Homo-oligomer: A and B are copies of this chain.
Amino acid sequence: MPRDAPARGFPSREFASRTAKAQALMAKQGWAGLLLMSEPDVRYFSGFQTLFWQSPTRPWFLFLPLSGKPIAIIPEIGASLMRQTWLEDIRTWSAPAPHDDGISLLSQLLGPLAKDKARIGVMKGHETHLRMPLGDWERLIGALPDLQIADATGLVQGLRMVKSSAEIDKLRHICAIGSATFASVPEIVAEGMPLDEVFRTFRREALANGADDAPYLVGAAGQGGYTDVISPPSQRPLQRGDVMMLDTGCTWDGYFCDFDRNWAIGQADDRAKRVYDTLWRATEAGLAAAKPGNTTRNLFDAMSAVIAEIDTSGGDIGRLGHGLGMQLTEQPSHAAFDTTVLQENMVLTLEPSLSYGNGLMMVHEEDIVVGKTGAELLTERAAPELPVI
């Protein structure tokens, strides 16, 4: 079990710093505020952390004014927890209230801004969702026709992409827990074990190693390889000649690891070994390219060049890795369409994948932090040859 867990939570100055950075960017854009409503966005600026978001019933809102602390507009059931954060202005209603789930409170807050024909930022772009009823959104905006809405996706995701040292400590810790759990797989998994039992055993081991939870676990196993990388487990027992892949997002204090490992059961055939080796070297190429100044497209190109030894399709998975932090996947994407410039303290996954044979595929994944001069692995590097259990 990894030792020396970092402190939970963040000091208030961390939230003050995030807020000040957002406000400086808002001022540059000429925006009067930022209206946020997704779990990670609300948590990023407030520190409000609860699994209660799993209930779709209640919307939660955070408003960042141009100066001062964020304002929470939330269901009363969350007031006690929100009062433990650095926020001071917490406005609540008794939710659920289908006919007015925070809309009056939002209208009161935004009304003066609308009167001034001000502009506010809202998350409208790639990788975002509207975490409130669309009908309520239409009602709110309809009642404030003079309020201008700008897309805040780039601003917020741009901030969240570059991690603080406290965030990196949490990510390093959960990656170490994930690595310890993968390292124990040869001891806890064996030929004959049904795949759903492998999943259950893996989750219990991750918890024993100190994970708060292992909410994301997908994987597959099949003779000579697998055909799918997002499935829940079958009940099929592992067989000699299978290639098994497990891909997990474990969490610690609200931060994710996201990486996978492959194993052969009993024996590995030459094709699987060759594909594994190619992906391992593709990751090496990604590691070499992951330095400040390069772009995510450079990362994509570096890994693609190695993958092309076997597979020139370009990959229907659409990208070869992504940002990592409070969500299993975050911006940016290592893809031909993404030209984000890598900066120190970005935390990323490198996730080369390829298709081979008749519909088989293999994926590799590591988690890294971009350092001053190059990549630092947060995960214990996968073995250079396909391990056999």
Contacts and interface: CB of A to CB of B under 8 A. Distances in A.
B215 A54 contact: yes
B218 A215 contact: no
A155 interface: no
SS class, residues of chain A in contact with chain B: loop
Interface residues of A, number: 79
Nearest to A313: B94
Interface stretch (A129-137, A163-171, A180-188): A129-137
A166 to B, nearest CB: 17
Interface stretch (A62-70, A75-83, A301-309): A75-83
Interface string A131-148: 111110110000000000
Given A57-B322, A129-B130, A215-B215, A50 B231 contact: yes
Contact of A128 (B125, B133, B153, B317): B133
Interface in A100-155: 101, 122-135, 137-138, 151, 153
Interface string A191-209: 0000010011001100110
Contacts of A98: 125-126, 337
Interface stretch (A24-32, A326-334, A373-381): A326-334
Interface stretch (A13-21, A222-230, A276-284, A286-294): A222-230
Nearest to A256: B54
A319 B52 contact: no
B322 A52 contact: no
B97 A337 contact: yes
Nearest to A330: B56
B207 A77 contact: no
A249 interface: yes
Contacts of A158: none
Interface in A311-328: 314-319, 322, 327-328
Contact of A319 (B50, B96, B337): B96
Interface string A26-51: 00000000000000000000000111
Contacts of A319: 96
A3 to B, nearest CB: 16
Which of A56, A229, A317 is packed against the most chain B CB atoms within 10 Å?
A56
A228 to B, nearest CB: 4
B96 A318 contact: yes
A336 to B, nearest CB: 10
A353 to B, nearest CB: 9
Contacts of A127: 56-57, 96, 133
A93 to B, nearest CB: 9
Interface of A: 8, 49-52, 54-58, 75-81, 92, 94-99, 101, 122-135, 137-138, 151, 153, 196, 199-200, 203-204, 207-208, 212-218, 227-232, 235, 249, 314-319, 322, 327-329, 333, 335, 337, 359
| Closest 5 pairs (CB-CB, A-B) | A130-B130, A76-B316, A124-B135, A52-B230, A98-B126
17 contacts: A50-B230, A51-B218, A54-B216, A56-B128, A56-B129, A57-B322, A57-B329, A77-B230, A96-B333, A101-B126, A125-B135, A128-B133, A129-B129, A129-B133, A135-B151, A203-B213, A213-B214
